[in-house]
Chains A and B, each alone.
Chain A
Amino acid sequence: MKSHLEKINFVRNNNIRKSHNRELNLYFYNNRDLSTGQAFLVPNIVEFMHDVTENGNIGAIKKKIMQLTPLDIIRLMWWNKFNVRNILRKDFSSGIMILIEIEVLKILKSKPLYIVLSDYITDLALALDNKDIYYNFSWLMKRLGKENIFFTNNLPLFIDKCIEWKVEFELVFFPMNKSGYEMNPDKSTVEEYVRRIPSDKVIAVVTSEEASQRTYLNKFGIKRILENWFI
Chain B
Amino acid sequence: MYKNILVTGAGGFIGKSVVLTLLQNGFSVLAMIRQNSISPFKKDPNLTILRADMLDYTSFSSQVSKIDAVVHLAANKYHPTLSYEVNVTGAHNLLRLLKEKKLKTNRLINISSQSTKIKWMGVYGKSKLESDKILENSSYRWTTLKPSLVYGNEKGTLFNTIAEYIQKLPFIPVIGNGKWTVYPLAVNDLADTIVNVLRNDQTIGKVYDVGCPQKVEFDEMIKLIQSQLQIEKRIIHIPFLPGLAMIYLLTKFIPTLPLSVDNVLGSNQYTRCDPIPAIDELKVKPMSVKDGLIKYFPDKDARHNNINIAIVGLGKMGILHGTILNTLPHVNITAIIDTNVQLINTVSSMGIKTTFFNSLIDALKEKRCDCVYICTPTFVHKEIINICLKEKIPYFVEKPTFNNFDDFKDILKNPITSKSGSGYFWIFKREVQYTKKLLEENKIGKILNYKVRLKHSEVFGPKKGWTFQKKLSGGGVLINPGPHAFSLIQYFFNDGKVTDAKLKYLYNNEVEDEAMVTLEHKDGFQGELHASWSVPNCPVLTIEYEIVGKLGKITYNNNALTVTKYGEKKAVLPIYDLPLNYPIFNLNPRSGGDAYYIEDYLFTKSLVEKTRIQNSVHFSHSVESLIHQAYEIASRKN
Tell me the A residues contacting B by CB distance below 8 Å: 4-5, 8, 45-47, 49-50, 52-54, 86, 89-95, 119-120, 123-125, 127-132, 153-154, 157, 159, 162-166, 168, 177, 179, 181-182, 184-186, 189, 192, 195-198, 201, 207-208, 230-231
A120–B586 CA distance with the chains assembled, in angstroms: 9
Across the two chains, which residue of chain A brings its CB closest to B320? A124
Q: Are A90 and B327 in contact (CB under 8 A)?
A: no
In the complex, the answer to whether B323 meets A127 with C-beta atoms within 8 Å is yes
Min C-beta distance of B375 to chain A, whole Å: 14
Contact partner, A153, options B49, B351, B589, Cβ 8 Å: B589
Query: B24 at the A/B interface (Cβ < 8 Å)?
Result: no
> Is A153 in contact with B463, judged by CB distance below 8 angstroms?
no
Q: Which residue of B lies closest to A165 (CB)?
A: B155
Interface assignment of B252: CB less than 8 Å from any CB of chain A: no
The interface bits of chain B over 566-589 (1 if a CB of A lies within 8 angstroms of the residue's CB, else 0) are: 000000001111000001111111
- Once bound together, how far apart are the Cα atoms of A130 and B364, in whole Å? 27
Which residues of chain B from 344 to 385 have a CB within 8 Å of any chain A CB?
Answer: 345-347, 349-352
User: Given A124-B323, A230-B576, are A93 and B349 also a contact pair (CB < 8 Å)?
Assistant: yes
The segment from B40-48, B226-234, B416-424 found at the interface with A is: B40-48
Q: B-side binding surface: helix, strand, loop or mixed?
A: loop
Contact B327 A91 (CB under 8 A): no
CA distance A163 to B42 in the complex (A): 14
Determine whether B559 belongs to the interface, using a CB cutoff of 8 Å to chain A.
yes
The 26 listed contacts between A and B (C-beta, < 8 Å) are: A5-B539, A46-B590, A49-B316, A54-B465, A92-B350, A119-B588, A125-B351, A127-B323, A127-B326, A129-B326, A129-B351, A130-B351, A131-B351, A132-B349, A153-B589, A153-B593, A181-B576, A182-B576, A182-B589, A196-B38, A196-B40, A196-B42, A197-B39, A198-B51, A207-B574, A208-B574
Identify the closest chain A residue to B155 (Cβ): A164
Q: Given contacts A8-B539, A184-B586, A189-B583, could you give 15 more A-B pairs where the C-beta distance is less than 8 Å?
A: A4-B539, A45-B588, A90-B346, A92-B351, A119-B588, A127-B323, A127-B324, A129-B326, A130-B351, A185-B585, A192-B43, A196-B42, A198-B51, A207-B574, A208-B574
CA of A139 to CA of B560, assembled, Å? 41
Partner of B349, one of A53, A92, A165, A181: A92
- List B contacts of A54 (CB < 8 A): 463-465
Per-position 1/0 for B226-260, Cβ under 8 A of A: 00000000000000000000000000000000000
B506 within 8 A of A: no
Chain A: CB-nearest residue to B583: A185
Q: Could you say which of A46, A86, A201, A230 contacts B36, with CB atoms under 8 Å apart?
A: A201
Closest 4 CB pairs of A and B: A181-B576, A130-B351, A128-B351, A185-B583
Q: Nearest residue in B to A177 (C-beta to C-beta)?
A: B576
Judge whether A90 and B324 touch: CB under 8 Å.
no
Is B56 located at the chain interface by the 8 A CB criterion?
A: no
Beta-carbon contact of B583 and A186 below 8 Å:
yes
